[in-house]
């Protein structure tokens, strides 16, 4: 330093050295934790999307279907079995009670529809946080189909488990209602399949799938969904000629009771075909009316949260 500036005194040298600019050290990025991996970007459109139309999706917000474990799947399947079984118990049990209380067909239908609407809403509120509260193979299938593009719906193996649990639950629910009212569990003899009732099933199922998928894509809360679905089923009892079965698991379960709510085995296939067509129409209407909300929700009815608290790493 003294060779470069020979005329400076020794007292000025420290001050000159203090004025020398320091090199900027490279900024180190904080080390990311393995529990919080780097977020991924997925296209979205909604209140949670960014200014450029993108939405951050991390493991913490990824749908529970993608990280479900064996214990959680068993719990969710049990919730679907229980919920579908109790739904059929409500339908069949209230039908038997109405049949014994009055001979008026209108009063019987009124009592049956009120009990079904209220019972379905309660079951969605209770079991929605556990399994999503589908209670319907067509709702589960629609969840898989509508969420396939962004991987937010049920994977095919879980869909198969859900459908099996729902059908078994429907049969068990009918048997339980028969036992409570001391009615033998036999095949129904009530023929329901006519051109009018088949068309009614198409309308009822299309409306149900559109309602559930539309509310889910709109981000409605579980209480709103429970109230809306219960109200729709209660109303569809009256405005459809088929009394709105709109559910293959419930349809199969009601075969095993020869009471007010029963359906003959010969009528099952036409009803199932009509429900399948109606579900397809409901999915198409959902895509048409709600085209940009596919990443807003992870489940059609309710996002399962209670089954993923301890099993995830």
We report the CATH number of the domain holding residue 269 as 1.20.1080.10
Question: Which domain covers residue 228, as residue numbers?
Answer: 65-304
Cα 231 to Cα 9, 121, 167, 265, distances in angstroms: 94, 8, 23, 28
Residue 18 lies in a domain: no
From first to last of its 313 residues, the chain has per-residue pLDDT tens of 445 555 555 555 555 555 555 665 656 655 555 554 444 443 333 334 444 444 433 444 445 455 667 899 999 999 999 999 999 999 999 999 999 999 999 999 999 999 999 999 999 999 999 999 999 999 999 999 998 877 788 999 999 999 999 999 999 999 999 999 999 999 999 999 999 999 999 999 999 999 999 999 998 999 999 999 999 999 999 999 999 999 999 999 999 999 999 999 999 999 999 999 999 999 999 999 998 764 444 566 666 655 554 444 4
- Give the H/E segment covering residue 54: strand 54-57
Report H helices in 132-247: 137-146, 156-180, 195-217, 222-239
Residue 33 lies in a domain: no
pLDDT at residue 283, rounded to an integer: 96
Among left, alpha and beta (phi > 0; psi -120 to 50; other), residue 244 is left
pLDDT at residue 39, rounded to an integer: 42
State whether residue 10 is helix, strand or coil: coil
Residue 25 lies in a domain: no
- Got the DSSP string for 59-96? TTTS-GGGG--HHHHHHHHHHHHHHHHHHHHHHHHHHH
Q: Which two tokens mark 168? A: 């078994």
Phi, then psi, of 103 in degrees rounded to 5: -100, 0
pLDDT at residue 147, rounded to an integer: 86
Residue 31 lies in a domain: no
pLDDT at residue 15, rounded to an integer: 58
What is the domain count for the chain? 1
Contact (Cβ atoms closer than 8 angstroms) between residue 51 and residue 103: no
Q: How far is Cα 154 from Cα 137, in angstroms, rounded to an integer?
A: 12
Contact (Cβ atoms closer than 8 angstroms) between residue 274 and residue 192: no
pLDDT at residue 55, rounded to an integer: 42
In angstroms, the first-to-last Cα distance of the chain is 60
pLDDT at residue 69, rounded to an integer: 79
Q: How far is Cα 177 from Cα 85, in angstroms, rounded to an integer?
A: 10
pLDDT at residue 152, rounded to an integer: 81
pLDDT at residue 151, rounded to an integer: 77
* Cα maximum dimension of the chain: 120
Identify the burial level of 85 via C-beta atoms within 10 angstroms of its C-beta, where 0-12 means exposed, 13-18 middle and 19 or more buried.
buried
Residue 46 lies in a domain: no
Cα 66 to Cα 95, 153, 243, distances in angstroms: 40, 9, 37
Phi, then psi, of 61 in degrees rounded to 5: -105, 0
Residue 73 lies in a domain: yes
pLDDT at residue 291, rounded to an integer: 87
Residue 37 lies in a domain: no
| Residue 225 DSSP one-character state | H
């Amino acid at each position: 330093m003294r060779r470069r500036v020979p005329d400076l005194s020794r007292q000025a040298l420290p001050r000159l050295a203090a004025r020398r600019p320091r090199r900027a050290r490279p900024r180190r990025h904080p080390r990311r934790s393995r529990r919080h991996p780097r977020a991924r970007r997925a296209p979205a459109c909604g209140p949670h999307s960014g200014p450029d139309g993108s939405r951050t999706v991390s493991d913490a917000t990824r749908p529970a279907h993608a990280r479900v474990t064996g214990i959680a799947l068993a719990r969710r399947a049990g919730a679907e079995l229980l919920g579908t079984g109790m739904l059929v118990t409500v339908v069949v049990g209230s039908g038997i009670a109405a049949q014994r209380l009055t001979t008026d067909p209108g009063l019987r239908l009124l009592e049956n529809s009120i009990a079904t609407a209220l019972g379905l809403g309660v079951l969605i509120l209770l079991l929605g946080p556990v399994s999503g509260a589908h209670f319907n193979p067509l709702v589960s299938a629609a969840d898989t189909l509508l969420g396939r593009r962004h991987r937010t719906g049920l994977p095919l193996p879980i869909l198969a488990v859900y459908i099996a649990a729902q059908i078994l639950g429907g049969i068990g629910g009918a048997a339980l209602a028969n036992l409570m009212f001391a009615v033998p569990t036999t095949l129904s003899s009530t023929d329901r399949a006519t051109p009018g009732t088949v068309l009614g099933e198409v309308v009822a199922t299309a409306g149900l799938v559109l309602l559930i998928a539309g509310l889910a894509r709109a981000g409605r809360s579980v209480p709103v969904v429970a109230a809306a679905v219960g109200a729709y089923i209660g109303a569809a009892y009256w405005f459809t000629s088929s009394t709105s079965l709109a559910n293959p698991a419930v349809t199969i379960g009601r075969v095993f009771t020869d009471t007010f709510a029963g359906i003959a085995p010969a009528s099952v296939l036409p009803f199932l075909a009509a429900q399948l067509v109606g579900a397809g129409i409901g999915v198409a209407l959902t895509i048409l009316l709600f085209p940009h909300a596919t990443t807003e929700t992870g489940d059609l009815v309710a996002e399962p949260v209670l089954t993923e608290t301890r099993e995830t790493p």
